Amino acid sequence: MSKFEYKENNLLNEKLDQQIKEKPLKGSPDTHPLDISEESSDEEDKVSDELPEFVPTNRGRRTSISAESIEPSLFTKIKIPKSDVQCQRIRMALADNFLFCRLDEEQVNDVVNAMAVKSIKASSEVIKQGDPGDYFYVVESGELDCSIDHQKVTVLKPKDSFGELALMYNAPRAATIVANEDCVLYALDRITFRSILMDNTSQKRIMYERFLSEVPIFKSLEAYERHKISDALESVVFEDKDVIIREGDVGEDFYLIESGEAIFYKTLEDGTRKQVMIGKKGDYFGELALINDEPRAVSVISNGRLKCATLRKNAFTRLLGPVMDILKRNSENYHAVLQQSLQ
């Protein structure tokens, strides 16, 4: 979250409370992956004693957005030419913005592609308090003064962003932004902004409901139960050889593999590690530590690029009640299957 966003939100709470009422964003026996028995080659059995460095994932809170809806027919993806350096600067700014940091890669690409380069002369007014909002901005170069009720509250510098509040809530501009020198900005239009941000949740819900309907343990659920789980799932991407969970660690998340492969390793008595299985699309892991409140039983490492849907521990307990018996039943077979794979 940018420094401007902190200051602006604090100053605007009263005004927004008057204008806005936020709504939350919408959006036969089964087998555990380890029940699949496959013979591994000698090469697969031998793995390095050292696991790759753990790469933590950044999880932020969900945001709430309300107001107008944008008809899908009004949104057409566009790509405005920019250099690789410019695209990277935009990405860095979006990563620090509370609205954009939760978008998946494709959505971030849509935002970056749609941003137009705007040159602003010194003393030019970029947005005016009280006016309708048409664009979201990222600062590429130069500095701009931000004022509320004619009082300067902060200075915006390169990589800062502004203008999202009026677009989020369909409210008038809450501040005036004036360039105090020649500046270069990246601008995202209102329709693209709201289409990507507002459709993010509904698109994810549809995708996850379809995905869950294909996962054996969730097939028996009612549609509304899958709907609840879909809303709670978060997408996370791992690069090759990222450690997703480490044997012995405390469990905090449940994982469903959306695409890619994950390799499961178990530490042997002599301290070496052995591959026990490969997880693929539709497989799940991480539930054993959550069900039994025990440390992670295996380490799981991405084999190439891996995309997972994750469910936090509290949501796992609250939402997976209908399939908990199946999960527990599968977990009872876990140790026997694991021992068999280690022989």
Same-domain pairing of 146 and 256: no
In angstroms, the CA 83 to CA 115 distance is 12
Question: 239 with 103, same domain?
Answer: no
Number of folded domains that form the chain: 2
Q: Is 208 part of a structural domain of the chain?
A: no
Q: What spatial distance separates the first Cα and last Cα of the chain, rounded to whole Å?
A: 51
Whether 282 maps to a domain, the answer reads yes
The number of beta carbons lying within 10 Å of the beta carbon of residue 137 is: 24
Contact between 198 and 70 (Cβ < 8 Å): yes
Please give the annotated binding residues, written as ranges: 164, 173, 287, 296
Query: pLDDT tens digit string along 191-228?
Result: 888 888 766 666 677 778 888 888 877 877 888 788 88
55 and 147 share one domain: no
Q: Domain check: are 16 and 153 in the same one? A: yes
For position 342, what pLDDT does the model report? 53
One domain, residues 41 and 137: no
Q: What is the pTM of this model?
A: 0.47
Tokens of 263: 């390799």
Q: Which of 113, 340, 343, 319 is nearest to 225 (CA)?
A: 319
Distance CA 275, CA 342 (A): 9
For 122-161, what is each residue's pLDDT tens digit? Answer: 999 999 999 998 999 999 999 999 999 999 999 999 989 8
pLDDT digits (tens, 9 = 90+) for 235-246: 888 999 999 999
pLDDT-based confidence at residue 69 (cuts at 50, 70, 90)? low
Does one domain contain both 103 and 136?
yes
**Neighbouring C-alpha atoms within 13 Å toward the C-beta of 149:** 4
170 and 231: one domain? no
Q: Which pair of tokens denotes residue 35?
A: 């029940």
Residue 167 CA to residue 132 CA, distance in Å, equals 9
What is the spatial distance between Cα 128 and Cα 189, in angstroms, rounded to a whole number? 16
Residue 207 lies in a domain: no
CA atoms of 89 and 138, how far apart (whole Å): 9
Does residue 40 sit in the same domain as residue 105? no
Residue 209 counted as domain residue: no
**Residue 21 — very low, low, confident or very high, per pLDDT cuts 50/70/90?**
very low
Please check whether residue 315 lies inside any domain of the structure.
yes
Q: How far apart are CA 306 and CA 237, in angstroms?
A: 6
Query: 14 and 162 share a domain?
Result: yes
Nearest CA among 179, 210, 89 for reference residue 140: 89
Binding-site sequence positions for 3',5'-cyclic AMP: 164, 173, 287, 296
- Which domain does 307 fall in, by range? 33-60+214-342
Same domain? For 9 and 90 the reply is yes
Same domain, 20 and 38: no
Domain boundary among 137, 162, 195: 195
Under DSSP, is residue 216 helix (H, G, I), strand (E, B) or coil?
helix
Q: What is the CATH number of the domain that holds 294?
A: 2.60.120.10
Q: Are residues 41 and 100 in the same domain?
A: no
More confident residue, 226 or 307: 307
Domain end among 129, 162, 195: 195
Instruction: For residues 248-253, give the mean pLDDT.
Output: 90
